[in-house]
Structure 1
């Protein structure tokens, strides 16, 4: 873009992650100078609390940066360079149903995987497409960096419905896991790693991990994975809830299925769904943990900052995923040609896989967008799992486009997390009733 400074809109301004994104934007002003930050949300009350606290912090720490917040799309998306999208359609009320309805049927209840992820995905499509259209109407040269979940379904929907749009779909989970790997090897963070990776979002494997000198780190990481999954190096990370500790430990059993690769943690939901259900409390799920933890903490701090009229004395810090997003925006703006993990149309990045699939692979990013790094052919085990899961995602998007009850039933029946078509139908009927205000009318 060649500009000296950039205007950024954060879509989902009322998110608990917004303060961390704002702090990271301010922290990285030398490499990515920002002149204007705008928050946008359709929930004015929720956004106002976060926005007022951010305004105080910015005034005290970077008064030269213009700051605003709005519910008006024209105001939010006019004259901007980047949209950072982190929306949650239905908020925690619907996430609660995504997790607890499946558990009532003895099925994995998780916000991005299985029936909960499908329900959430059908809600997210409209919201992400709407924001993308606002951006292209008011600032057609801008980039949208989307990390709204479930990223796999959203990426498939934008690929089909807005194929020429300037949107890049991303997820921070592989970065968090590579930070753990780097720590296991005595390195600083994921930037010190050179890696090969293939998969779908929340459904992938590392097949190569080296340091920048070319030293093979896979033996060291495999040794830790075989002993305790990722749990040996999670101290100090932001995922500190008990449920995340179990997830990091369970990666040991996921790894055992293919000791030639290092797995993404989310694979436990597909490969060990019986374990997940047996160790879930149907009355107290991850949603409750977030409400009691992050939600309470962030909004509590925001209210105190507003009440006291200052952010001084509060321990504010940027989130890990925020740094990745800012680095990606910087790569697009300043042509840094850095390596990022992105969710992109395959078209040969994985040679023996559906060319139209939205795959997660390393890419080189510069001012002209991204170039995929070819990962070659993948093993039969991973290929079979991915073909099944990408079919689920494609059927979900087809069901949304065609208002098809049949295809949504097929999608749920095909998911490895659902034991039978009869259970899938019962789940579909209950989820449909719960989501009538968000899903298209099915026929």
Structure 2
């Protein structure tokens, strides 16, 4: 099978390749096509993957392409992992947000909307190209904001586009670890919400929900990342485990203050780190080792200002383990290609599975995967306290998509002004004006 990775020169590509190298089952991916606009990064990434595959028999063949149509030809699966505007764009969004006293993080609030507005026109063209060049391919979307991007692409590709995020499975793994449970083979996770806005509502192990045991033990709740971030008392108060990105909503003022005191924004830090990485990896004898070092550095500093606002200090080594989105992607591909039934938390069209959300709206819920795709498990429930937030943010997402498709400045303004993390229509207008003057890509908004 052939896997085409759009944005294959991106930093996280070796994570996906590692999962492919671990896969020894018949019918595995044997050709990976990396597609990117940056030819020098493609060359370096090709060297990293070759170094990573050293000593692995029958490793997938890797080809590199700057022509998207060429890279897509013959693809069975397509990964979309692009960053329109690059890390410079992320840093600019954070700066604009801070200048108006709002959070500029790349997937929530102003930052997420701005990022989506410049990304959606690009991914819509990509969806049309996939439809024309590789109509039988399945698209697995990693591009952020994952829920909005997946929903927009579904207007072209229908259910053949599925979004993935590692936050839910990472949260569940850490929570189970706090209970002393290391294997997830007999675990069934109940999760409901939108991308970067959801809750674990049950952790069934061998049919028994262990979440009440965790909620009854403040010491265990406070032993892992999300428990430290939100505090055991608040998690006990809401009766569910919140996705880490809900910290921006629950502790908005605290995060804003921490952002103001931080020596630099996350985007600016990654911009500097990224330049150092590509420079070192380009000439290194063992570039994969360089990538591993820089990845550990990234994970160590992840959500640093949020942790500072909660007084958490450094991350524990157990918390540095990724949620495993690459393994979820592999299970998803195998489930579809070989009808290997699996239960996974994915971003898909609701189809009525999540109460109060339109059937065509993309939500993040448990799904059953088989040869015909990913099917939401009926009955997913958002905790009562979060239903209004989900409704509000979903409206913002639909208006963001409307703005990108129609070029409507009014829709973009509605999205910004009505987002729960933007508290003023005047500020929303100023944010939009600053974004349009900063990013030429947004000139289509009129």
**Is TM (by shorter chain) over 0.5?**
yes
Is 1:79–2:86 an aligned residue pair? no
Question: How do 1:247-262 residues align onto structure 2 when only pairs under 5 Å count?
Answer: 249-252=228-231, 255-256=234-235, 258-262=237-241
Tell me the distance in 1 between the aligned counterparts of 2:65 and 2:114: 28
TM norm structure 1? 0.86
What RMSD in Å do the two structures reach over aligned CA positions?
A: 2.7
Shift in alpha-carbon separation, 1:329–1:390, aligned structure 2, 3 A: same
Tell me the distance in 2 between the aligned counterparts of 1:314 and 1:17: 9
Tell me the distance in 1 between the aligned counterparts of 2:330 and 2:351: 27
Map of 2:110 onto structure 1: 115
> Any idea what SS the aligned residue of 1:61 has?
coil
Shift in alpha-carbon separation, 1:133–1:278, aligned structure 2, 3 A: same
From 168, 173, 176, the equivalent of 2:170 is: 176
Map of 1:232 onto structure 2: 223
From 179, 199, 202, the equivalent of 1:185 is: 179
> Any idea what SS the aligned residue of 1:34 has?
coil
Is 1:199–2:193 an aligned residue pair? yes
> Any idea what SS the aligned residue of 1:69 has?
strand
Question: How do 1:364-383 residues align onto structure 2 when only pairs under 5 Å count?
Answer: 364-375=368-379, 378-383=382-387
Map of 1:239 onto structure 2: none
- Is the 1:203–1:386 Cα contact (8 Å) retained in structure 2? yes
Is 1:439–2:442 an aligned residue pair? yes
1:393 Cα offset (Å): 0.6
Map of 1:217 onto structure 2: 210
Is 1:329–2:333 an aligned residue pair? yes
Is 1:404–2:426 an aligned residue pair? no
1:115 Cα offset (Å): 0.3
1:204 Cα offset (Å): 0.9
Shift in alpha-carbon separation, 1:297–1:219, aligned structure 2, 3 A: farther
Moved more, 317-326 or 103-112: 317-326
Map of 1:341 onto structure 2: 345
Tell me the distance in 1 between the aligned counterparts of 2:91 and 2:405: 25
Shift in alpha-carbon separation, 1:254–1:163, aligned structure 2, 3 A: farther
1:358 Cα offset (Å): 1.5
> Any idea what SS the aligned residue of 1:339 has?
strand
Count of aligned residue pairs for this structure pair: 418
- Is the 2:192–2:381 Cα contact (8 Å) retained in structure 1? no
> Any idea what SS the aligned residue of 2:201 has?
strand
Map of 2:2 onto structure 1: 7
Moved more, 35-44 or 63-72: 63-72
Map of 2:264 onto structure 1: 284
Gaps of 5+ in 2: 296-320
Moved more, 165-174 or 349-358: 349-358
From 260, 272, 291, the equivalent of 2:251 is: 272
- Is the 2:248–2:255 Cα contact (8 Å) retained in structure 1? yes
Tell me the distance in 1 between the aligned counterparts of 2:79 and 2:278: 21
- Is the 1:19–1:54 Cα contact (8 Å) retained in structure 2? yes
TM norm structure 2? 0.86
